[in-house]
């Protein structure tokens, strides 16, 4: 057992690059740290560290031995973390980023529930349609929509969302009677930033298949909240993510148009830098997020199961 503790002390000495810094990190006396390393070398029958007045350097066998000690140190830390996670609630700060399309209908409700369950957890949220680097922006997690570039981060598929037509009842008289997408042509189209470069939009229907719909933007905006607000003021119709617009439907601010037509089905991913050792705060958030998303998508499935008029 003493050899194991001395291996951990050796790992810290190598990590810190000096006996003094290692002693501070371990909250030990410098002479005790030196004695443990000396005793470890005696037990192994070989020198691990070349000591000079200015610096420490590892011998060849010391470099090899240090790698094993680092592995032991990581295993011990992981074991302690697992025990603490079992006994404790998530603590500290959860930092994440997500796009505007998921803010109102998904991210905020999940964070509200998370903060009620774990009131000691602090939250840091960056809502932006830009994809932020996790390390550069000190983030635990990123929720992204659409295809992802290859990276060293861990990626988890959560589900998908669709862009659907919506408008204010004040804009389109007898809005429920519209059955064909071409009936939208007389009304102004509010285009978000990802729609402005496309005049032709591929839309889909479960029984009528695919259709190419020409839409000329009357108003151009750079995010979903602005498009939804303008649509609620009867300034035009919009194609917005289903998860985002559901709260507007519930409040009566917007109404679905052509409810069985949709466009831009995109995957939703969670991205984090933790590999297999995911912090408890991230685990709990993802569990709630997946559950909430599953419930939301089931509601959409029930909505689309209504009789279809063709």
Map out the domains of the chain as residue ranges. Answer: 2-87, 93-160+267-301, 162-264
Per-residue pLDDT tens over the stretch 223-234:
888 999 999 999
C-alpha 304 chain-centroid distance:
28
pLDDT of residue 197: 66
- Write out the CATH class of domain 2-87: mainly alpha
The helix (run of H) or strand (run of E) holding residue 255 is: strand 255-256
The helix (run of H) or strand (run of E) holding residue 3 is: helix 2-16
> Do 2-87 and 162-264 come out as alike in CATH topology?
no
Say yes or no to pLDDT of 87 above 60. Answer: no
DSSP state of 145: E
| Percentage of residues in the chain having pLDDT higher than 90 | 22
Cα distance between residue 51 and residue 304, in whole Å: 74
Residues 192/238, Cβ–Cβ less than 8 Å: yes
What is the CATH number that goes with domain 162-264?
Answer: 3.40.190.290
What average pLDDT score do residues 118-146 get? 90
Cα distance between residue 154 and residue 277, in whole Å: 11
Per-residue pLDDT tens over the stretch 258-303:
888 888 778 899 999 887 778 888 988 999 998 888 877 666 555 5
Taking the complete model, does pTM exceed 0.85, yes or no? no
pLDDT of residue 205: 87
Say yes or no to pLDDT of 307 above 50. Answer: no
pLDDT of residue 306: 47
- Write out the CATH class of domain 93-160+267-301: alpha beta
pLDDT of residue 117: 87
What average pLDDT score do residues 28-36 get? 90
- In the structure, what pLDDT confidence band is assigned to residue 83 with cuts at 50, 70 and 90? low
Q: Average model confidence (pLDDT) for the chain?
A: 84
pLDDT of residue 309: 38
C-alpha 160 chain-centroid distance:
14
- In the structure, what pLDDT confidence band is assigned to residue 198 with cuts at 50, 70 and 90? low
What average pLDDT score do residues 135-150 get? 86
Residues 189/215, Cβ–Cβ less than 8 Å: yes
Q: What per-residue string of b and e applies to 171-188 under the rule 16 or more CB within 10 Å gives b? A: bbeebeebeebeebeebb
Task: Return the ∠ at Cα 204 (arms to 145 and 243), rounded to 5°.
Answer: 35
* Rounded (10°) CA dihedral 236, 171, 264, 205: -150
């Amino acid at each position: 057992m003493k050899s194991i503790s001395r291996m951990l002390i050796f790992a810290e000495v190598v990590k810190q690059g000096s006996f003094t810094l290692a002693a501070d990190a371990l909250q030990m006396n410098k002479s005790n740290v030196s004695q443990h390393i000396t005793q470890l070398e005696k037990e192994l029958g070989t020198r691990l560290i070349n000591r000079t007045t200015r610096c420490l350097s590892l011998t060849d066998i010391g470099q090899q031995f240090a790698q094993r000690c680092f592995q032991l140190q990581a295993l011990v830390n992981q074991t302690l973390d697992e025990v603490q996670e079992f006994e404790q609630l998530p603590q500290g700060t959860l930092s994440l980023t997500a796009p505007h399309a998921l803010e109102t209908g998904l991210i905020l409700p999940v964070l509200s529930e998370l903060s009620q369950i774990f009131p000691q957890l602090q939250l840091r949220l960056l809502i932006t349609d830009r994809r932020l680097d996790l390390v550069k922006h000190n983030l635990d997690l990123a929720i992204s929509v659409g295809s992802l570039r290859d990276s060293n981060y861990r990626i988890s598929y959560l589900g998908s969302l669709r862009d659907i037509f919506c408008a204010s009842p004040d804009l389109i008289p007898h809005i429920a009677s519209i059955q064909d997408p071409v009936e939208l042509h007389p009304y102004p189209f509010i285009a978000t930033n990802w729609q402005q470069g496309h005049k032709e939009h591929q839309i889909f229907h479960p029984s009528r298949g695919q259709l190419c719909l020409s839409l000329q933007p009357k108003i151009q905006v750079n995010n979903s909240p602005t498009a939804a607000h303008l649509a609620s003021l009867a300034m035009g119709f919009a194609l917005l993510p289903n998860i985002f617009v559901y709260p507007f439907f519930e409040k009566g601010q917007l109404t679905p148009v052509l409810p069985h037509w949709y466009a831009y089905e995109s995957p939703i991913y969670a991205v984090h830098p933790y590999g297999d050792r995911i912090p408890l705060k991230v685990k709990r958030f993802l569990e709630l997020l997946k559950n909430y998303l599953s419930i939301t998508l089931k509601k959409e499935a029930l909505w689309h199961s209504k009789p279809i008029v063709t």
